Structure 1
């Protein structure tokens, strides 16, 4: 990974924080195979990414072929924010929310309400020390100066989901001749006792090599509830890096469903901090790989308060020469008594060349906890295939039905019918 050395840092209240991150990129360097969290990543391709500041305007960026983005995304009512190559496209966005909901761009918030985005750029520890784990997060802090800010007041119940669409358009004409990757951000605050749903759809256009680096920061207030759905479907000529950082207060509930489908290297990382007593998180995901794709899930849930519960349920379907990665961690801190945590990763290999690397991690430093994990790797059941074929079902259709049955258990977790339909169509079995 390199950066545009001539790139300026825009002037605003947090410019000094981003300048510090920019200076750390050279020190951190591009992750290598010695970094456990990046062990199976395509390091040569990552080294070819070059980051710089976002474009000034996204209005005319999409070509005629991709201008109608509605045919590429789930059909949802409610507010939506469209981000193209790191800049909000105001003409394609609808920032008007219901009472109690304020939606703005990060660029505007940096200038007008920096206190609402400060935590997104604060990557220090409790002692004030800088704690940037890798150069890609540093690049996002430095160059991710636009995106969406969703602030939901206390005691608000939203009926319609909020939709954030992040689009990566590859090629020098769209990113400039100094860099081939962009950074953007998403900041969500759910007030006490409120409930909401946020859908993030990641798309891409163009056949050139490029990359997108998107970071989402979420805070869920006391007794609040948030459903978060992440759909990653950028072209396989591009690299997509995604990080979701979540902090939960007492009695809150966070349910996340991720679908890692596109990109040559698609990385979805969740870092969830259960900071308040009785908080609950349910993380589920499906990664579906073909060709030479590498689909990487990096999951960490930190239990830092008493009586919290967490669930991690991930499934992988891998064909051709694709590779899947699941690195799931449960960290129980001292004093987090009464922790109840479960983790599972089931994988279906459709080819002898496909590969899965699954690694559960448990670190328990508290008493009276219940933690368990498990992982499975298998192929299609020959007995089931024979049974279906003996009843007149063609071999290809029987194979598809078994794959669908395995994958659909993750799809069914999504609470929005139109999103489930989009995923079903994307996986090519909406006629079953």
Structure 2
């Protein structure tokens, strides 16, 4: 199905098609095929789609059409709002608006507002008004408190990666934002999963939404491997694998900011061009580092989960779980950084003795069967650790140490009187 059959207006279609072609979009993905016609019709929408499925363009194309077909207003009035969970995703979404709108006769003014940086430049950027604001919830509320913008005339609200918004604790902020918005609006909710809290959010914020869920054909083609390895030899194993031709560009996940700095330093000492990406870095440095990785100036980016959320690297060949994710649900988010836009990808997880039980839980929760293999020369010597029982998807193992939440659960269980 070509983009011309998605219900977009002939008035804007030629300009959008030209921008799509320049950006490398050859034909719409399944989520775009199903979502764009409904959004163009003005319907509220709940769309379930994994990372890498093309969901950003699925709402940006109709949003750009809505902007072009609306009469221009002076001063500019904020009509479209996109809420995302992380700074990196906000920058990515804003970039898609600019990229796909660059051939339009009239282009929207897009302002990206995120936390972690000074609020003053963002307030200055909003002084002339904005057509589209892409924001993280906390910073948006800060701007509202400073009277830097108004949401009273927003016509389109997009909640992107809604499951992650709630996982990161933005539930209260979302409710505050919804209270500031007009009741007559179009609302689009995009999520990789549909747990009960997402259903509650949809019931509260959407009007008779259509539901779209892409089928199996849209699942990324990712080869998943697991390697048994002693914890102390993981860096040595990673360095050995980096010599493989496919490993020209690698995103490595670790469990903490300190671990990301440590591992990146070890790799640089061994002659690998590597950098760490985590929340302690300034926004400017994170942006420069991401751009360097996208431009293949870095071979390895060592990242924590929050920092890497929203990273979209075209044709990223390899993702490595140096530390397993604490939540089994984060496993799919991590490996979804590769195998995007129809490309093949490789996801490799390191499994030491202490994390074998957690690896089995990850496989069970995500309905995958990936047996941990042993590589010649890296046979593990550690004895199998005592299995740790994980109560739910929010618990788990982070390295060898139980989390604070796990320790509290254990203490509560020990204090409970026997029946």
Look at both structures and tell me which one has the larger radius of gyration over its CA atoms: 2
Of Structure 1 and Structure 2, the greater strand share is in 1
Q: Structure 1-normalised TM-score? A: 0.29
Of Structure 1 and Structure 2, the greater helix share is in 2
